[in-house]
Amino acid sequence: MLSLDTCDADFMTSALAAAGAAADRGEVPVGAVVVSEGIIVGMGYNRREQSQSPLSHAEMIAIDEASRRLRSWRLKDCDLYVTLEPCIMCTGAIIQARMRRLIFGCVDPKAGAVESLYRLCEDQRLNHQLPVVGGMLAEASSVLLADFFARLRQQKRENRKAERWPSPVEGA
């Protein structure tokens, strides 16, 4: 029988694959899956640019899909795996859905609401708390993000260069 850790790593690998799909589409690479009884029932990747919606975070899409599939807003038997520490909005949705467990990859010091800026999942003032496992395959997740932003910076540099030195045809 597989240990919980092995299963967790497998599901996080699926979330990483979803994050990769985001990167391929020019979106900040964050991916998430919702798992119920050992089966992925929701999957999402960040698509904020494509949808031009601030709600289109990976977790929101994965939770929405899981709720639809299970025909319930209560996901109390579900675990969420996400490659980056969730923000305030997504942690709010996780709590609203009464999820059982949260497993995330790397921390987000600028926006994380689970460890970094807030600790919403353990806040006793709210009506639901849930256990959290952080740092699952964190290295792979942060490398994906770092590569994406390095490419973006490189692209910006090249664009600036093209503006400064127009091609002979354009300059004529």
Residues of this chain that interact with Zn ion (CB under 5 A) are 57, 87, 89-90
Best CA proximity match to 70, nearest among 44, 31, 36, 101: 36
* Catalytic choice (27, 49, 59, 163): 59
Q: What's the rounded Cα separation, in Å, for the pair 142 and 151?
A: 14
In the 3-class helix/strand/coil scheme, how is 6-22 assigned residue by residue? HHHHHHHHHHHHHHHHH
Complex with Zn ion: residue 90 or 130, whichever CB lies closer: 90
**Torsion angle (degrees, nearest 10) of CA 87, 133, 30, 140:** 140
Q: For residue 47, how far is the Cα from the chain centroid? A: 10
Judged by beta carbon, residue 58 or residue 78, the one nearer Zn ion is 58
Q: Is 47 or 57 the residue whose CB approaches Zn ion more closely?
A: 57
Q: How far is the CB of 2 from Zn ion (least distance, A)?
A: 29
Question: Nearest distance from residue 143's CB to Zn ion, in Å?
Answer: 20
- Is 59 catalytic? The answer is yes
Q: How far is the CB of 63 from Zn ion (least distance, A)?
A: 10
Please identify every residue annotated as catalytic.
Answer: 59
